[in-house]
Structure 1
Amino acid sequence: MLEITLDFKSEKENPLYLQLASFLKQEMGAGNIPAGEKLPSKRNLAIHLGVSVNTIQAAFNQLVAEGYVRSEQRKGFYVQEVEELIGDSVPSSQTAKKEKNLQYKIDFNSGHVDLQQFPYSVWRKLSVKSLYLDGSELFYNGNPQGEPCLREQIAQYLFQSRGVRCSADQILLGAGTQVLTGLLCMVIGREKTYALESPGFHRTRVALQDQGVDVELIPVEEEGLSVKELASSKAEVVFVTPSHQFPYGMVMPISRRMELLNWAGEQHNYIVEDDYDSEYRYKGKPIPSLHGLDSNGRVIYMGTFSKSLIPSIRISYLVLPSSLLEKYRTNFSLYKQTVSRLHQDTLFRFMSNGHWATHLNKMRTLYRKKQARLLAAIQEDLGECVTIIGEKSGLHIILNVQNGMSENELIASASRNGVKVYPTSVYYGGERERTEPEVLLGFGGLSELEIEEGIRLLKESWGL
């Protein structure tokens, strides 16, 4: 078995997963890890190096995204042919230093939001008020499902905005969707077979794989996940993003939603509806959530505040049907709540006092303007050499670029010009299923001037 030994350095600017990724890239370039070699399992390597499995997973994901490694479902990670990607080898310490010092003028990160528009003064006042009125109570462990007052506000919001009919008792809070995905696997059962969209959100795939469950990848079509392929699989639970498919952005029409609900109802299976980016829609009429259409209790609704507030406020939630709620309370209610009670109480006040609705409406208008500026800049500077995908909603788009460059070449040439764009290949579970050169551009965290500058630099980088 391949032996990997690395002396990690304590550097805030260079996290452990980047140090490991840089080391592995150097070893590949030097020929010490040949093409076709299988990397050690995440758990074994984590134990060997004395780090967490998440650190290993993040490093492997980075290598997959850059094209150094491919992931094969249920088999592991294998080294790709990398000579053309890295050129002459340099000492790993120099590689890490170079990556640490690399700064981008423009970062089209899809996970970024406009932090300048967050109502810091309001949030600060409400946090202080929570501490003043509730005092030391907030420093004790609270309700395992989350504070009832916040869950009541979320239930009201979901009914008004997404047609989700639920009580506060059905809502379960957690510090991020990955945490909730892991808990959901335990509630539903690890013996079940789970299905994911392909392409789809890679962090959900990682969370499921870390639970040790069987995962099947179901292809995505123009109208979303293929229900025909799903029905022919062994899946008993499926994760879908029907309102804004990640990463390609298509909206699942009502006919396909009904097909999916029939699959779940007839087979007594479950659908996990990840309502990703549903707050930001720019074209078309709103379609009810799957949960709002479900009459058989087979849909588990999942939502988060990471895009509508700020990412560091780790508050996500599940809406459990009664059958799973009973199972959760019987077997898993001893698990402590993972969200800070102070953040929960502050968000409750933020929502109940009307600040949430005001902020959300403001951000919808702001992101609509940013997206319009992005699309105009692309049309003006990049012209007919690119195709825009997924512009109906959300905080990112995908560009299909036809200039003869591969995905890796597009990313590398943009990077040399100070612009960071992102691969779509990482969202496929195995080897990339499409050959078109595509990159992902997020715009939420950029100003309109930065968006225009970024597109201008991409035009120079790609020779368009």
Structure 2
Amino acid sequence: MIGFVINLDEKSKIPKYIQLYEHIKNEIHEGTLKEGTKLPSIRMVSEALKISKSTVENAYNQLIVEGYIESRYKSGYYVINIEIYDYNQFAKGNIPNYKMVEPKKSIDIQSSDEQEEATFNFSEWKKMLNKVLEYDTKALLSSGDVQGEFALRREISDFLYQSRGGKCHPDQIIVGAGIQYLFGLIAALFRGEEAQIAFEHPGFSKGMYIFEDYGYQTIKIPVESDGINIKKLEASLAKIVYVSPSHQYPTGSIMPIKKRIKLINWATKNQSFIIEDDYDSLLRYEGYPIPALQGLNQGKNVIYVGSFSKLLIPSLRISFMVLPETLIQKFNFIKDRYSQTVSKIEQLALANYMSEGYFERHIRRIKKIYGRKNQLLIDAFKVHQNPYYELIGKESGLHVMLSFSPTVNKEKVVKDAEAIGLKLEGISDYEGSNILVLSYSGLLDQEIEPVIGKLSQIVLESNEKFT
């Protein structure tokens, strides 16, 4: 049993549980807390630091989620071997600004094109657009930067550091209309050099199609309970891999630190690159966002991609990627072949939206809305249970996975569900294809329970007629 020597900053805007989490994480990275070390009980830490038990529990839970410690039944909390190879490569003392984060449920709006109208304040966005049109008219007379407006790239750089622990400067950021467009740029960067790219499976199939259209051979690497299968990745000939380590779609799994380090080791050893998809990892259940893979080794082998289309509204087609410095020169060589695909007006409006604090308030607002919606959905499935389907993956945001009995006619379920406003999508080659993904971001709170009741009846009828 050990004791913590830590002075929590009472005046800091950083919550105490985050300060405690960062302290323990750094001690594990430094080797002060070694594999197998038993941490003090929640009660002991609470009494020693004069903080609430829930504060300690939140810190411990975050360490568990990220794979630093494990909870053993009736025994306590123990440090896990994370196989650090060089701590100097990892982010230490880089505590992001967590002022807009609360321990709430995660959200994810990627798998649906619809959102509830209340999730976005259009009057605030109109105010930012009008500001650009009134004060930035001279700037609007030119076509703008192919890489993206500097004002927006500067805000994105600050945002990544504060919220995800990412490390980059504005010159490393490229703005584009949609992730698929940015994937086309990545494919162009490596064309003629790398013929193969690995993708999580199941995963982001539309991203995979872009590389196939550019002539790449795509390799499907299966996803385990904690992310992509590293051994199968190592056995492949791929020099690039796509992963969503902080919130895998559709499973919702989080890649623990031990596997993240193995992935970085693979990239470093093979001089390969990792495409890290942010995939709404800013918004998640219990605790705060998982630190970005890009920040672990200064982003040397990581191409980080993210989108505002999911965080704001789908019709706002603004995405971005962060290139390692080693790829910036290559990009500069080819960038004149391309035009900027995002409206300069919208780029400047978004820069103002972020700098004036509207974006931060928006995130707080949608966390409350989506957290409530997620709980209503889970409660609705409890009320309308039937033996022919099971709710799984319920902590992966604004979609859940449904596992169906083999006797259910899934095609009919999908068709009939669409008639009542539910979007169900299949996942090919995943657990016998008995899984459907249910997206619910467009449902109003009061619609959730009756709609799930109708879905339950649809499943019953589909099973009876199929058998």
What is the alpha-carbon distance in structure 2 between the residues aligned to residue 313 and residue 447 of structure 1? Answer: 22
Retained in 2: the 8 A contact 1:247–1:424? no
2:338 to 326, 335, 340: 335
CA contact (8 A) 1:280 1:395 kept: no
CA distance in 1, matches of 2:388, 2:364: 35
- 1:446 paired with 2:443, answer yes
Aligned to 2:239: 236
What displacement does 1:113 show? 2.3
2:78 matched to which residue of 1?
none
Using the TM superposition, give the Cα deviation of residue 449 of structure 1 relative to its aligned residue in structure 2, in angstroms. 1.4
Query: Does the 8 Å CA contact 1:170/1:319 hold for their aligned counterparts?
Result: yes
Number of the residue aligned with 1:272: 275
**After the TM superposition, which of the residue ranges 267-276 and 183-192 deviates more from structure 2?**
183-192
Match of 2:363 among 337, 343, 360: 360
The equivalent residue for 2:122 is 120
Cα distance in 1, alignment partners of residues 393 and 163 from structure 2 = 22
> Are the counterparts in 2 of residues 190 and 212 from structure 1 also a CA contact under 8 Å?
no
Q: Do the aligned partners of residues 276 and 348 (structure 1) sit closer, same or farther apart at CA in structure 2, a change above 3 Å counting?
A: same
Matches within 5 A, 1:285-300: 286-295=289-298, 297-300=300-303
CA distance in structure 2 between the aligned counterparts of 1:421 and 1:154, rounded to whole angstroms? 32
Change beyond 3 A, Cα 1:393–1:283: farther
| Number of equivalenced pairs | 351
Q: Report deviation, 1:200.
A: 1.0
Q: 1:243, 1:115 → 2: CA distance?
A: 27
Residues 109 and 217 (structure 1), Cα distance of their counterparts in 2 relative to 1, 3 Å cut: closer
In structure 2, do the counterparts of structure 1 residues 433 and 278 end up closer, same or farther at CA, with 3 Å as the change threshold?
A: closer
TM-score if structure 2 supplies the norm length?
0.72
1:280–1:391 CA distance, 2 compared to 1 (3 A): farther
Classify 1:153/1:296 alpha carbon distance in 2 versus 1 (closer, same or farther; 3 Å): closer
Identity within the alignment, %: 37
Please list the CA deviations of residues 316-360 of structure 1 after superposition, one character each: whole Å capped at 9, or x if unmatched: 000001110111012224422111000001101100110000001
Distance 2:304 2:397 in 1: 18
1:419–1:457 Cα contact (<8 Å) kept? no
**CA distance in structure 2 between the aligned counterparts of 1:392 and 1:459, rounded to whole angstroms:** 20
1:462 counterpart = 2:459: yes
In structure 1, C-alpha distance between the alignment counterparts of 2:117 and 2:211, rounded to whole Å: 31
**Aligned AA for 2:188?**
M
Q: Distance in 2 between matches of 1:139 and 1:396?
A: 42
Q: Which residue of 1 aligns with 2:187?
A: 185
AA of the residue aligned to 1:402:
S
Aligned equivalent of 2:47: none
Counterpart residue type for residue 378 of structure 1: F
Matching residue within 333, 349, 355 for 1:346: 349
Stretch of structure 1 that moved more, 395-404 or 265-274: 395-404
Aligned with 1:423 (options 422, 425, 434): 425
C-alpha displacement of 1:194: 0.7
Whether contact under 8 Å (2:180, 2:210) holds in the other structure is yes
Paired AA for residue 446 in structure 1: L
- Three-state SS of the structure 2 residue aligned to 1:422 is strand
Equivalent residues of 1:302, 1:319 under 8 A apart = yes
1:296, distance to aligned residue in structure 2 (A): 6.4
Structure 2 residue aligned with 1:412: 415
How far, CA to CA, are the matches of 2:277 and 2:440 in structure 1? 21
Look up the equivalent residue of 1:142 and give its one-letter code: G
Partner of 1:176: 178
Cα separation, 1, equivalents of 2:242 and 2:192: 15
Instruction: Compute the displacement of 1:116 (Å).
Output: 2.7
**Contact map agreement 2:160 2:166 (CA 8 A) in 1:** yes
C-alpha separation in 1, matches of 2:354 and 2:274: 28
Larger deviation, residues 159-168 vs 329-338 = 329-338
Query: In the aligned structure 2, how far is the partner of 1:231 from the partner of 1:109?
Result: 29
Counterparts of 2:366 and 2:299, CA distance in 1: 35
- The counterpart of 2:133, out of the listed 131, 134, 138, is 131
C-alpha deviation, 1:284, in angstroms:
5.5
Give 5+ residue unaligned stretches, structure 2.
1-109, 462-467
Choose which of 161, 167, 170 in structure 1 pairs with 2:169. Answer: 167
1:143 aligns with one of 128, 141, 145:
145
C-alpha distance in 2 between matches for 1:328 and 1:109:
30
8 Å CA contact retained: 2:403, 2:435:
yes
List structure 1 runs of 4+ shifted beyond 6 angstroms: none
Shift of 1:218: 0.6
Question: Counterpart in 2 of 1:258?
Answer: 261
Alignment equivalent of 2:320, drawn from 317, 322, 333: 317
SS in 1 for 2:432: coil
Provide the rounded CA distance (Å) in 1 between the counterparts of 2:347 and 2:138: 15
User: Partner amino acid for 2:185?
Assistant: L
Deviation per CA, 1:52-99: give whole Å up to 9, x if none. xxxxxxxxxxxxxxxxxxxxxxxxxxxxxxxxxxxxxxxxxxxxxxxx
Q: How far, CA to CA, are the matches of 1:331 and 1:401 in structure 2?
A: 48
Residues 197, 239 of structure 2: 8 Å contact kept: yes
Report the counterpart of residue 386 of structure 1 in structure 2.
389
1:146 maps to a residue whose letter is G
Deviates more, 1:449-458 or 1:365-374: 449-458
Query: Are residue 376 (structure 1) and residue 373 (structure 2) matched?
Result: no
Task: Kindly indicate whether the alpha-carbon contact (under 8 Å) linking 1:298 and 1:321 is maintained by their aligned counterparts in 2.
Answer: yes
Letter in 1 for 2:143: N
Q: Does 1:223 align with 2:226?
A: yes
Would you say the 8 A contact 2:423–2:440 is kept in 1? no
**Which amino acid counterpart does residue 335 of structure 1 have in structure 2?**
Y
Q: TM-score, normalised by structure 1?
A: 0.72
List per-residue Cα deviations over 1:14-38 (Å, max 9, x = no partner): xxxxxxxxxxxxxxxxxxxxxxxxx
Structure 1 position 114, deviation (Å):
2.5
Q: Which moved more, 1:371-380 or 1:326-335?
A: 326-335
**Separation in 1 of the partners of 2:197 and 2:119?**
38
Does the 8 Å contact 1:188/1:324 carry over to 2?
Answer: no
Question: Residues of 2 paired with 1:381 and 1:313: CA distance?
Answer: 36
* Aligned positions of 1:68-87 closer than 5 A: none
- Structure 1 CA distance, aligned partners of 2:457 and 2:387? 15
- For residues 355-404 of structure 1, the C-alpha deviation after alignment (integer angstroms, 9 at most, x for no partner) is 00000111011101000000110111125643333333432111112372
* Alpha-carbon separation, structure 1, partners of 2:206 and 2:167: 28
Q: Is the alpha carbon distance of 1:394 and 1:160 closer, same or farther for their aligned partners in structure 2, counting shifts above 3 Å? A: same
Q: Distance between the aligned counterparts of 2:111 and 2:332, measured in 1?
A: 38
